[in-house]
């Protein structure tokens, strides 16, 4: 029998400090959202069960930390994503102006900044320092990948007299934050650890949307437009675009729907063949003969079984499998195939991945980042810890770090995938 998830949020202790916020809609811990909105709570109560629910985020009337005595730290980890600076700014502004916390530091170069041997000194963060950073891409604190010694990082946080530790990152960062919180708890230290989810691939478990995703879609749409123009601009033109998506195809699918010029959307969740009657080559050839051009959008993690090699056995500093370059592989194999068939093609290959990651957030993501930062501050000041602030079923909620430290996949039986099949015209399966 599958074990039910546990959404209980840990608290450092009873809050006793009156909030300095005078104009706010205070949220009660009893305000919750159903884990499964399709289950009516009355039916569960009739069966003697309590409906599984999740705590809603927001400012609390009483705090655990005295703002005048509180010191906070912020760290950004993993790959870059649009909106990181917006989150940093929101946390600093929320702590300083909403609560009066004046001691805020930024940890530089990810978790390396908590290991003294790297020599990355922390930086003071004030409203003056962060006031314009939302107009910049990347992270003003910089980032890094790879695990560091948990005990050493907690030692550093203690030496800095940190009370609140805000971690911005993806699933690997959330797992590390969970281990940091466990180490803090084992030492009996009163320090809150709050996660703010970041992955441009939008693949964190239980989180409706991660910041940077909307910006990525808008940027990918530009790349698709360019690929479409290039494809139509030459006889038998092919526009091939590779974008982010290590283990999931959320960006590919949403971009394909946003810019309805894609003919083949290739994602990690759906294996495909190159050769054979149902393979990509024959389908692409048929498309070219009928329409004289085609656009292919592929996620970086798609088709890894086709181009598997020794590099797949290696991992990066974060423990992620080093992917083969499916974009270059497809380009070379497509060109080889049509050379053998004698059909002359004009293929243009576009990889905008790093351009997309490093741009400033668009308006939608900027608003989202502001809210995530504010809700993270509210949670931390109330003494809540070992949690992630995120959007779940349209509500901003508190989720245990453990519950989100895994990736969500595209549901290949779901509505999103079916809509993309209709939009592209590609078959549901390209396996022989």
pLDDT tens string 379-402: 999 999 999 999 999 999 999 999
* 98 closest CA partner among 138, 58, 41: 58
Residue 318 has pLDDT above 80, yes or no: no
Arithmetic mean of pLDDT, 84-92: 98
Predicted confidence band of residue 48 (pLDDT cuts 50, 70, 90): low
Arithmetic mean of pLDDT, 34-44: 65
d(C-alpha 121, C-alpha 115), whole Å: 10
Arithmetic mean of pLDDT, 182-208: 94
Judge residue 97's burial from the number of C-beta atoms within 10 Å of its C-beta, 0-12 exposed, 13-18 middle, 19 or more buried.
exposed
Specify the range with the lowest mean pLDDT, choosing from 29-38, 85-94, 171-180, 407-416. Answer: 29-38
- Mean pLDDT computed over every residue of the chain: 92
Orientation of helix 250-258 relative to helix 213-232, angle to 10° = 60
Locate 343 and state its tokens: 């059909």
* Domains of the chain as residue ranges with CATH: 10-210+360-404 (3.40.50.450), 214-358+412-424 (3.40.50.460)
Predicted confidence band of residue 312 (pLDDT cuts 50, 70, 90): very low
- Per the model's pLDDT, the better-predicted residue between 110 and 408 turns out to be 110
Active-site hit among 86, 171, 201, 214: 201
Arithmetic mean of pLDDT, 11-18: 96
Active site residue 316: no
d(C-alpha 195, C-alpha 109), whole Å: 17
Tokens 């190159």, located at residue? 274
Q: SS in 3 state form for the chain?
A: CCCCCCCCCEECCCCCEECCCCCCCCCCCCCEEECCCCCCHHHHHHCCCCCCEEEECCCCCEECCCHHHCEEEEEECCCCCCCHHHHHHHHHHHHHHHHCCCEEEEECCHHHHHCHHHCCCCEECCHHHHCCHHHCCCCCCCCCCCCCCHHHHHHHHHHCCCCEEEEEECHHHHHHHHHHHHHHHHCCCCCEEEEEECCCCCCECCCCCCCCHHHHHHHHHHHHHHHHHHHHCCCCEEEEEEECCCCCCHHHHHHHHHCCCCCEEECCCCCECCCCCCCHHHHHHHHHHHHCEEEEEEECCCCCCCCCCHHHHCECCCCCECCCCHHHHHHHHHHHHHHHHCCCCEEEEECCHHHHHCCCCCHHHHHHHHHHHHHHHHHHHCCEECEEEEEECCEEEEEEHHHHCCECCCCCCCHHHHHHHHHHCCCCCECC
* 84 closest CA partner among 204, 211, 174: 211
Tokens 């699918």, located at residue? 253
d(C-alpha 338, C-alpha 357), whole Å: 33
* 6 closest CA partner among 203, 206, 192: 206
pTM: 0.92
Arithmetic mean of pLDDT, 118-142: 97
d(C-alpha 175, C-alpha 178), whole Å: 5
- The pLDDT tens digits of the residues spanning 268-309 come to 999 999 999 999 999 999 999 999 999 999 999 999 999 865
CB 181 within 8 A of CB 386: yes
- Per the model's pLDDT, the better-predicted residue between 36 and 372 turns out to be 372
- Per the model's pLDDT, the better-predicted residue between 262 and 39 turns out to be 262
Judge residue 165's burial from the number of C-beta atoms within 10 Å of its C-beta, 0-12 exposed, 13-18 middle, 19 or more buried.
buried
């Amino acid at each position: 029998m599958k074990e039910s998830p546990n959404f209980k949020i840990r608290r450092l202790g009873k809050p006793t400090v009156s909030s300095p916020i005078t104009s706010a809609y205070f949220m009660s811990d009893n305000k919750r959202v159903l884990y499964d909105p399709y289950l009516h709570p009355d039916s569960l109560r009739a069966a003697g069960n309590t409906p599984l629910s999740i705590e809603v985020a927001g400012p609390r009337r009483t705090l655990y930390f005295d703002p005048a005595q509180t010191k906070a730290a912020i760290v950004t980890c993993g790959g870059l994503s649009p909106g990181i600076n917006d989150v940093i700014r929101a946390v600093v502004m929320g702590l300083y102006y909403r609560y009066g916390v004046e001691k805020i530091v930024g940890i530089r170069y990810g978790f390396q900044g908590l290991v003294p041997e790297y020599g990355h000194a922390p930086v003071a963060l004030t409203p003056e320092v962060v006031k314009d950073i939302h107009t910049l891409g990347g992270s003003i604190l910089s980032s890094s990948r790879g695990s560091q010694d948990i005990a050493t990082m907690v030692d550093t946080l203690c030496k800095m007299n940190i009370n609140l530790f805000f971690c911005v990152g993806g699933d690997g960062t959330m797992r590390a934050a969970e281990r940091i919180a466990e180490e803090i708890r084992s030492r009996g230290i009163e320090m809150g650890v709050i996660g703010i989810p970041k992955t441009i691939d939008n693949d964190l478990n239980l989180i409706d949307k991660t910041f940077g995703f909307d910006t990525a879609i808008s940027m990918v749409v530009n790349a698709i437009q360019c690929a479409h123009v290039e494809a139509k601009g030459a006889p038998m033109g092919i526009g091939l675009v590779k974008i982010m998506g290590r283990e999931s195809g959320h960006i590919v699918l949403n971009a394909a729907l946003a810019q309805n010029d894609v003919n083949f959307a290739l994602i990690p969740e759906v294996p495909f063949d190159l050769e054979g009657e149902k393979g990509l080559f024959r389908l692409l050839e048929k498309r070219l003969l009928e329409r004289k051009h085609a656009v292919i959008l592929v996620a970086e993690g798609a088709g890894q079984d086709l181009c598997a090699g020794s590099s797949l056995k290696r991992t990066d500093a974060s423990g992620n499998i080093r992917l083969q370059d499916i974009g270059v592989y497809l380009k070379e194999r497509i060109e080889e195939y049509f050379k053998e068939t004698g059909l002359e093609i004009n293929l243009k290959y576009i990889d905008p991945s790093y351009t997309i990651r490093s741009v400033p957030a668009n308006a939608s993501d900027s608003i989202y980042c502001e809210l995530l930062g504010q809700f993270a501050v509210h949670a931390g000041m109330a003494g809540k810890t070992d949690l992630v602030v995120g959007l779940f079923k349209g509500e901003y909620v508190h989720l245990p770090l453990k519950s989100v430290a895994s990736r969500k996949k595209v549901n290949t039986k779901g509505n999103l995938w079916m809509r993309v099949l209709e939009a592209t015209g590609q078959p549901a399966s390209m396996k022989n």
